[in-house]
Structure 1
Amino acid sequence: MPIIPRVAELQPDIQAWRRDLHAHPEVMYDVHRTAAFVAERLRAFGCDEVVTGLGQTGVVGVIKGRRPGGVIGLRADMDALPIEEETNLSYASKTPGKMHACGHDGHTAMLLGAAQYLAETRNFAGSAVVIFQPAEEGGAGALAMIEDGLMDRFGIQQVYGMHNNPGMPVGSFGLRPGPIMASMDRISINIEGRGGHAAYPHKTIDSVLVGSQLVVALQSIVSRSVNPLESAVLSICVFRAGEVGNVIPSTAELRGTVRTLKPEVRDLMEQRMNEVVQGIALQSGARIVLTYDRGYPVVVNHAAETDIAARVAGGIAGAAQVNTDLVPIMGAEDFAYMLEARPGAFIFCGNGDSAGLHHPAYNFNDDAIVFGTSYWVRLVETTLAA
């Protein structure tokens, strides 16, 4: 496998950076130590420009090639999760209740390694913009950076992202053109009935029964309103009502999430949810309020850029190790906003047989470093060929 020799030499340093970041996780926009860590190294590498504070705590480095040309953006996320780590690693989180359970420490370290190599060699025409983003985990840090001028300020013409994937062999890659990750919407439903003694249910409007009807009826939207050839997930994850075993509560609360791969299916889910809620409110006599909060959009890979990414990955891992028809993932990713702003592609790299993402025993696989870092380097050198 044609791993870049210099990247292999840099692997111990990249691994050390990754483990330092792992030991000091920070969440959402509060990534001040991580951002300073990144900015300090970008300056030491000799980046032509280093900008901090974009999108609150984002960091951007600009590396210019040997001659003028296009501009490519490479993005890594920096934030961790509010999870208590259970790995017992020597470099485990030193911050109670926070851990890098999604591999953003690895993403950041690999892009730092690529930045060092690109700043040393500059074997490309144009500019490579390395983007270190906060708040991917629910905070829409990508959108914050875009709204702070990311794309226009640096003249980014195309943009690429990468994420590790547990269960995929180390050294392999996966992607697809079109939708690759789902939109993510949050739903909350507040039910107001009429409470009373459990022995006299006919004198109440039972919020628990109404909530139970809603849980079942809402699933019929996916099974009977959505085309079976399309994808949609509706999950009610919170059902909160009552405190006493012989009292029918007057109120109940449901909360959950909706995931889709197409805007029209997303619209249909919201429309039908409102109709189902209204129907059960009329039938039961309860007052029901649905709040449908749209979050991250669908991650949609652009065809031409996906082809470029696949060819570059194939040059690193070998064509047999690149799945160009990866099954879409119903998880969400705010890189979607960057792909709405500019053409580009999102790719997965193998993390081997590890615990799953967001699991307290998860750990980024350091063996993946040379593959991910080499991919970033070759992507720049290919798209901005000198």
Structure 2
Amino acid sequence: MAVVNRIADYAAEMTAWRRHLHQMPELGFGCVKTAAFVVEKLKEFGVDEIHEGIAQTGVVAIINGQGSGPTIGLRADMDALPIKEATGAEYASKVEGAMHACGHDGHTTMLLGAARYLAETRKFSGRAALIFQPAEEDGGGAGVMVDEGIMDRFDIARVFAMHNAPNLPVGEIVTTPGPIMAAVDTFSINVKGKGGHAAQPHSCVDPVVAACGIVQAIQTIVSRNHHALDDLVISVTQIHTGSAENIIPDSAYINGTVRSFDPAVQDMVEGRLKAIVEGQAMAYGVTADLTYFRDYPPTVNDAQQTAFAAQVAREVVGADKVDANVDREMGAEDFAYMLQARPGAYLFLGQGEGPVCHHPAFDFNDEIAPIGASFFARLVELAQPQNDFEEV
């Protein structure tokens, strides 16, 4: 691996930054302490501009290179998850019920590592815009930052991001042109019946049986309404109803998620859900209301920028450790909003075997932080060569 020597020199400091951030997880847009730490470090590094308060707690730092040229954007997410940590680490979360279970503490650290190097060396033309974003897990912070005008305000021409990947070998980097992660929609269904004594079901209108019928019918959308060769996942994840074994409740609640890549598929799913809910409600004599919400769009990599990012990755980790044509995933990512606004690419960096993201025992592997920082640094240097700028 060709980790940048200067970044390797302060790898231990990066580990300390990451473990400090790990102990103070913050949720959603409330990344106040995290953003303050980021700003403190950026000031130490001597970046040229620091812009705070974007999307409430987001930060954009500008580093000027040598000579004219465009601005390249690099993004890291900062927020944590509402999960009770079970790593047993000495640097475990000090915030009850919250932890960095997706490695955003590591992503922030990687971008800080790149910021330090770029501010010291400035071996590039144009500018680098370092985007520290809140609310990736919930709230679409990337979309809010785009809506607040960061792409135009800082004249960002293209944008890149990287996520850790548990159970991918350490140091391997994977990506793909086109869609890499799915759109995510959510649905909820409120079923209203008539409760009563469980020994007298004839005097009730049972929402539990109706809810079961609705859930069973939802399973036919993928198997009977959708082309088998296209990607679609529909998962019912919550059913809440009842309070005792001898009471038929008044109502039931159903919740779930839809993952897809094509707006036409989203239209089909929403239409079928409406028909199923209406039909099943009529069949069981209940009323049922569907709420369908389209959340993050699919994350779509620009083909040219993906090829360029893969070229940089091969320089950093070796050609044998880069796969630039992996299968797309059904997870979702709000970096999609930035890729809608500007061409760019999203990549995954292997961190070795261990618990998956969003698991209470997950922990970011500090060994890969210098690799990610080196990738970001070389991305800037190769995209915008010093005194010899040429668009890639």
Give the TM-score normalised by the residue count of structure 2: 0.96
Partner of residue 258, structure 1: 258
Separation in 1 of the partners of 2:281 and 2:322? 50
Partner of residue 219, structure 2: 219
Separation in 1 of the partners of 2:98 and 2:248? 38
Separation in 1 of the partners of 2:187 and 2:234? 9
The residue type equivalent to 1:233 in the other structure is V
- The answer (yes or no) to whether the contact 1:87–1:362 under 8 Å persists in 2 is yes
- Aligned-pair CA distance for 1:271: 1.3
Partner of residue 35, structure 1: 35
Separation in 2 of the partners of 1:182 and 1:4? 33
Would you say 1:131 and 2:102 are equivalent positions?
no
The correspondence of residues 256-335 of structure 1 with structure 2, limited to 5 A, is: 256-335=256-335
Separation in 1 of the partners of 2:372 and 2:22? 18
Separation in 1 of the partners of 2:357 and 2:278? 37
Would you say 1:178 and 2:172 are equivalent positions?
no
Question: How many aligned residue pairs are there?
Answer: 386
Separation in 2 of the partners of 1:230 and 1:385? 41
> Deviations for 1:203-223, whole angstroms, at most 9, x for unmatched residues?
332111110011110010011
The correspondence of residues 1-386 of structure 1 with structure 2, limited to 5 A, is: 1-386=1-386
SS at match of 1:257: strand
Separation in 1 of the partners of 2:308 and 2:264? 28
- Aligned-pair CA distance for 1:247: 2.3
- Aligned-pair CA distance for 1:195: 2.2
Separation in 1 of the partners of 2:218 and 2:243? 25
Separation in 2 of the partners of 1:176 and 1:302? 9
SS at match of 2:238: strand
Separation in 1 of the partners of 2:370 and 2:38? 19
- The answer (yes or no) to whether the contact 1:277–1:288 under 8 Å persists in 2 is yes
> Deviations for 1:196-248, whole angstroms, at most 9, x for unmatched residues?
33233333321111100111100100111111111111111111111121222
Q: CA RMSD in A?
A: 1.1
- Aligned-pair CA distance for 1:163: 0.3
The residue type equivalent to 1:113 in the other structure is G
> Deviations for 1:3-23, whole angstroms, at most 9, x for unmatched residues?
211111121111111111011
The residue type equivalent to 2:353 in the other structure is D
Separation in 1 of the partners of 2:47 and 2:149? 20
- Aligned-pair CA distance for 1:184: 1.3
Separation in 2 of the partners of 1:116 and 1:133? 18
SS at match of 2:188: strand
- Aligned-pair CA distance for 1:263: 1.8
Separation in 2 of the partners of 1:370 and 1:243? 52
- The answer (yes or no) to whether the contact 1:55–1:146 under 8 Å persists in 2 is no
> Deviations for 1:18-52, whole angstroms, at most 9, x for unmatched residues?
11101111111111111011011112211111011
Separation in 2 of the partners of 1:345 and 1:207? 46
Separation in 2 of the partners of 1:235 and 1:97? 25
- Aligned-pair CA distance for 1:250: 2.2
Separation in 1 of the partners of 2:269 and 2:320? 38
The residue type equivalent to 2:339 in the other structure is L
- Aligned-pair CA distance for 1:282: 2.2
Separation in 1 of the partners of 2:96 and 2:192? 38
Structure 1 gap ranges (5+):
none
Moved over 6 A (4+): none
Separation in 2 of the partners of 1:24 and 1:200? 53
Separation in 2 of the partners of 1:93 and 1:197? 46
- Aligned-pair CA distance for 1:383: 1.0
- The answer (yes or no) to whether the contact 1:146–1:338 under 8 Å persists in 2 is yes
- The answer (yes or no) to whether the contact 2:113–2:370 under 8 Å persists in 1 is no
- Aligned-pair CA distance for 1:264: 1.7
SS at match of 1:100: coil
- Aligned-pair CA distance for 1:186: 1.5
Separation in 2 of the partners of 1:265 and 1:81? 29
The residue type equivalent to 1:267 in the other structure is D
Separation in 1 of the partners of 2:176 and 2:236? 29
Separation in 2 of the partners of 1:98 and 1:204? 42
SS at match of 1:6: helix
- Aligned-pair CA distance for 1:102: 0.5
Instruction: Give the stretch that moved more between structures: 347-356 or 258-267.
Output: 258-267
> Deviations for 1:52-74, whole angstroms, at most 9, x for unmatched residues?
10111001100111101011100
Separation in 2 of the partners of 1:20 and 1:199? 58
Separation in 2 of the partners of 1:195 and 1:81? 37
Structure 2 gap ranges (5+):
387-392
Percent identical: 51
- The answer (yes or no) to whether the contact 1:56–1:144 under 8 Å persists in 2 is no
